[in-house]
């Protein structure tokens, strides 16, 4: 089976003609539809890429906004804690000051009570001494005592005074 050059050239021309005819038919009837499909696919891919970039940018904006809100919330929390500390310190100072004032007031009242009790005790002792002195003077006047009797009477009086 040998193929002659003429047959080869004939087959080549038929194949080439068929290819050219097929290409012309595709160009005339299907090329615009094929390019339209590729164009639509290109536009869809381009739109999807743009949408993805927009979504990424929106996500970045939302993430930045969330981070800013988080930072603001942290700052507010820190401020609240600081205010609470300052309020606590102020309350502490106020309570300590009031406690010192109350202690001072109670001490002053106790000092006044002690002074009053001391004055009453001294007054009572003076009254007792005066009564005993009058009693001693009555006894001395009632008796004509010698020195030993006077000495015994005074010692007895001092013993009674010591017991009182």
Is 1 contained in some domain?
A: no
Is 135 contained in some domain?
A: yes
Confidence (pTM)? 0.41
Is 3 contained in some domain?
A: no
SS (H, E, C) 36-75: HHHHHHHHHHHHHHHHHHHHHHHHHHHHHHHHHHHHHHHH
Is 100 contained in some domain?
A: yes
Q: How far apart are CA 92 and CA 99, in angstroms?
A: 10
Residues 86-117 have pLDDT tens digits of 998 989 899 989 988 989 999 999 889 888 98
Domain count, the chain: 1
Residues 114-129 have pLDDT tens digits of 889 888 887 777 777 7
CB 136 within 8 A of CB 159: no
Is 79 contained in some domain?
A: yes
The C-alpha R_g of the chain, in whole angstroms, comes to 63
Residues 133-148 have pLDDT tens digits of 777 766 666 665 566 7
Is 137 contained in some domain?
A: yes
Is 139 contained in some domain?
A: yes
Q: Which domain holds residue 84?
A: 8-163
The per-residue pLDDT for 43 is 94
- Among the ranges given (1-5, 13-17, 67-71, 140-144), the one the predictor scored with the smallest mean pLDDT: 140-144
SS3 157: helix
Is 80 contained in some domain?
A: yes
- Virtual torsion, Cα 44, 45, 51, 56, nearest 10 deg: 170
The per-residue pLDDT for 20 is 93
Does the structure show a pLDDT above 60 at 1? no
């Amino acid at each position: 089976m040998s193929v002659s050059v003429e047959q080869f050239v004939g087959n080549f021309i038929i194949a080439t003609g068929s290819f050219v005819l097929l290409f012309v038919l595709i160009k005339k009837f299907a090329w615009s539809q094929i390019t339209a499909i590729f164009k639509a696919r290109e536009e869809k891919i381009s739109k999807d890429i743009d949408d993805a970039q927009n979504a990424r940018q929106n996500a970045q904006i939302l993430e930045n906004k969330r981070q800013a809100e988080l930072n603001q919330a942290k700052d507010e929390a820190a401020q609240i804690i600081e205010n609470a500390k300052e309020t606590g310190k102020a309350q502490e100072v106020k309570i300590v000051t009031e406690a010192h004032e109350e202690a001072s007031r109670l001490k002053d009242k106790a000092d006044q009570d002690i002074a009053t009790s001391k004055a009453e005790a001294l007054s009572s002792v003076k009254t007792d001494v005066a009564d005993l002195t009058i009693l001693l003077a009555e006894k001395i006047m009632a008796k004509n005592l010698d020195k030993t009797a006077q000495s015994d009477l005074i010692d007895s009086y001092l013993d009674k005074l010591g017991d009182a």
